[in-house]
A and B are shown apart, each in its own frame.
Chain A
Amino acid sequence: MDAVEEFLRMGGYAAYVWPAFGVTAVLLVGLFSWSRISLKAAQRTLDLLQSTRRARRRNLDTATPDSDS
């Protein structure tokens, strides 16, 4: 337990060292997560648009012969 306490105490500088590493971790993890979530959301939108567009074009292609007759 003493070794762990020593480590956490950081020679008396704990109040500076741990917030420094903590802020770094939060900002890096936050940026990474936000970027990945953003990419996934965009990919979902693209897939939706592409499949909808294919369906719409099929409808348009089948619709025009009828309107000619």
Chain B
Amino acid sequence: MANMHRFANPARFVRIATALMPWLLGAMVIFFGAGLYMGLLTSPPDYQQGDSVRIMYVHVPAATLASGVYAFMAIASAVALIWRHPLADIAAKSAAPIGAVFTLIALVTGALWGQPTWGTWWVWDARLTSVLIMLFLYLGYMGLWEAFDDNRRAAKAAGILALVGAVNLPIIKFSVEWWNTLHQPASILRAGGPTIHPDLLTPLGLMWGGFLCFFAVVLIVRMRREIVARRIQALQTLYVADDGHAAAEA
């Protein structure tokens, strides 16, 4: 009975997820297409930063979603640890590489934006340092999953790391307020509303939508793969049992 419960949810998830895929892919293509067209072609350059401001259209969505995906991973880990929902730790494990890639994009595009704007590729200010730490947390999380043979032990260890590391999220968000940072303060989610002009805000929103759809698409692919991998492990265990029965009957 416990086995049936474990696999009933994944089967339903795979059906729903597979049905959603074409819509998510279509939405992603539209968001990225429109976002890149506006961001690279029709939106105006900045009066101070010139065309280098266009880097914002990949840097900001990647950076905000890097934290967003970490929050998703932490919540999924909490659900797995507290309620033992069979899909929760699969969701967390599947999300991690996506968040790590978003963080890497944020750091690299940030450096490329920082050099012409600030005159430096890197500085150990609170914002940049805390985002780099988040990258290490992602890599550590992924490493823990590989370190254990038993999936349940791995899920527990990784989940605890995800939750402990979540303290970094408010630090990232408020770093530009709490400390003197080279990185600029918040310009969108702030008291008093956004300080970015709508001509720039629209392509930014479109690119954000594209990145979000990308996360959903790749999350589904990775979760499906993980579900298949566990089915393979279960079958291989049964193989051993089959061989045992054959030996007993012989």
Contact = CB atoms under 8 A, between A and B. Distances in A.
Nearest to A48: B232
A63 B249 CA distance: 10
Interface string B124-149: 00000000000000000000000000
B218 A17 contact: no
Interface string A1-20: 00000010011110011011
A56 to B, nearest CB: 7
Given A20-B108, A60-B242, A46 B232 contact: yes
A34 B79 CA distance: 28
Residue among A17, A32, A39, A67 with most chain B CB within 10 A: A17
A52 to B, nearest CB: 9
* Chain B interface mostly: helix
Contacts of A56: 242
B116 A13 contact: yes
Contacts of B116: 13, 16
A50 B217 contact: no
Contact of A24 (B52, B105, B217, B229): B105
Contacts of B104: 27
8 contacts: A24-B109, A28-B101, A28-B214, A32-B214, A32-B218, A38-B225, A46-B231, A67-B250
Nearest to A68: B249
A60 B101 contact: no
Interface string B207-250: 00000001001100110110011011001101100100110011
A18 B101 CA distance: 18
B70 interface: no
A25 to B, nearest CB: 9
B249 A64 contact: yes
